[in-house]
């Protein structure tokens, strides 16, 4: 799911009017910025980094099956995008060529968690547009004096074509259904749902059939994705232990809220069996995905920092060993994902934003 610190980008804005455009090139905003070196000297895994977006909050950029196209969610009040919407674009083949992208969600409600389907002609994403055409309200910080994420019950998972026409609705149960990703073999979707009263993981076939619950432990389970061979999954989870923690979790959930400040990473077989906790770092460890070898995870974490930020990217073996910090921005690096061929890494960052709160999408060659 879903800037400055830990995904604030998804709760800061409300939609006031429909989006009035379908295509926009961001390169003109900061022409020539990609000609400089965007990676830090000690980021040895990154090479030939390029900034794809300039301005606004841009996050959850995910590769399509062809390694050449991406989807991402974007908020940019200056462009009339006052609530997260889904965009799609081709990664420029040449460094100086502008990155152009198209709106592929409805421009209504709030959207999240888009993923290209195997045919490369359709996109999976979650949206609240049927519950309301306007952006759902954000938590009232004067009443909820904690950092929380809203769990909008209006979210359902839809399929749309590349022109933004909705061609199918995969979930219709009451409550939150979102955070869907597709297995590399193109057979399964994994997503988070609150249909049983808790935030658990479910799988379904690519057409929405054969829905199965695969986690059942109290706590928030979300942000799941498959391993390259589609045989394993990884996800983030909170696990309240004490009675006070359990009560706090349940009380917030009853208000449509979760507190994501304590999350660890887990792996399991794709059917939910053989669950293992990978990290035990404390604080917020999230946005995991598998490295190309299927033996490591890449993720975002603030565990090294007492004040809760910055967030940086890390690698860890799926048995919890070999932890390595791989990014070094002083504010926010998150949402990492490897291209299916393992040659590229895409992520979101506050780097090179001129000191404001813009979060942009970056892509680079991966050096193992």
pTM for the whole thing?
0.90
pLDDT band at 1 (very low <50, low <70, confident <90, very high): low
State pLDDT tens for residues 36-82: 589 998 999 999 999 999 999 999 999 999 999 999 999 999 999 98
3-state secondary structure the chain: CCCCCCCHHHCCCCCCCCCCCCEEECHHHHCCHHHCCCCCCCCCCEEEEEECCCCCEEEEEEECCCCCEEEEEEEEHHHCEEEEEEEEEECCCCCCCCCEEEECCCCCCCEEEEEECCCCCEEEEEECCCCCCCCCCCCCCCCCCCCCEECCCCCEEEEEECCCCEEEECCCCCCCEEEEEECCCCCEEEEEECCCCCCEEEEEECCCCCCEECCCCCCCEEEEEECCCCCEEEEEECCCCCHHHHHHHHHHHHCCEECCCCEEEEEEECCCCCCEECCCCCCEEEEEEECCCCCEEEEEECCCCCCCCCEEEEEEECCCCCCEECCCCCCEEEEEEECCCCCEEEEEECCCCCCCCCEEEEEEEECC
* pLDDT at residue number 169: 98
Q: Which domains does the chain have, with CATH numbers?
A: 8-366 (2.120.10.30)
The average confidence (pLDDT) of the chain is 90
* pLDDT at residue number 202: 98
State pLDDT tens for residues 281-291: 999 999 999 99
* pLDDT at residue number 29: 34
Residue 21 has pLDDT above 60, yes or no: no
């Amino acid at each position: 799911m879903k800037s400055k610190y830990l995904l604030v980008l998804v709760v800061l804005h409300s939609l006031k009017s429909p989006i009035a455009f379908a295509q926009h090139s961001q390169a003109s905003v900061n022409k020539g910025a990609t000609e400089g070196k965007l990676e830090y000297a000690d980021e040895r895994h990154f090479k030939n980094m390029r900034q794809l977006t300039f301005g606004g909050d841009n996050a959850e950029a995910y590769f399509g099956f062809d390694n050449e196209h991406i989807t991402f969610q974007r908020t940019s009040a200056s462009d009339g995008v006052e609530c997260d919407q889904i965009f799609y674009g081709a990664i420029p083949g040449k460094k100086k060529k502008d990155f152009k992208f198209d709106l592929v969600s409805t421009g209504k409600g709030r959207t999240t968690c888009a993923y290209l389907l195997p045919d490369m002609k359709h996109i999976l994403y979650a949206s609240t547009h049927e519950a309301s055409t306007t952006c759902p309200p954000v938590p009232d910080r004067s009443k909820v004096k904690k950092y929380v994420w809203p769990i909008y019950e209006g979210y359902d998972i839809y399929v749309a074509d590349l022109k933004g026409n909705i061609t199918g609705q995969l979930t219709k149960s009451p409550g939150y259904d979102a955070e869907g990703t597709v297995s590399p073999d193109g057979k399964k979707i994994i997503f988070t749902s609150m249909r049983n009263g808790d935030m658990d993981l479910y799988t379904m076939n690519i057409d929405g059939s054969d829905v199965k619950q695969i986690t059942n432990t109290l706590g928030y389970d979300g942000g799941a994705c498959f391993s390259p061979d589609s045989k394993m999954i990884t996800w983030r989870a909170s696990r309240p232990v004490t009675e006070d923690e359990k009560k706090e979790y349940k009380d917030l959930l009853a208000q449509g809220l979760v507190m994501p400040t304590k999350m660890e990473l887990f792996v399991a077989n794709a059917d939910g069996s053989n669950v293992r906790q990978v990290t035990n770092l404390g604080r917020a460890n999230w946005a995991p995905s598998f490295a190309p070898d299927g033996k490591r995870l890449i993720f975002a974490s603030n565990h090294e920092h007492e004040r809760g930020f910055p967030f940086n990217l890390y690698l860890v073996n799926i048995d919890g060993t070999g932890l390595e910090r791989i990014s070094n921005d002083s504010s926010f690096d998150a949402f990492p994902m490897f291209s299916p061929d393992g040659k590229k890494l895409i992520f979101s960052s506050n780097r090179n934003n001129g000191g404001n709160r813009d979060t942009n999408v970056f892509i680079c060659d991966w050096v193992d």
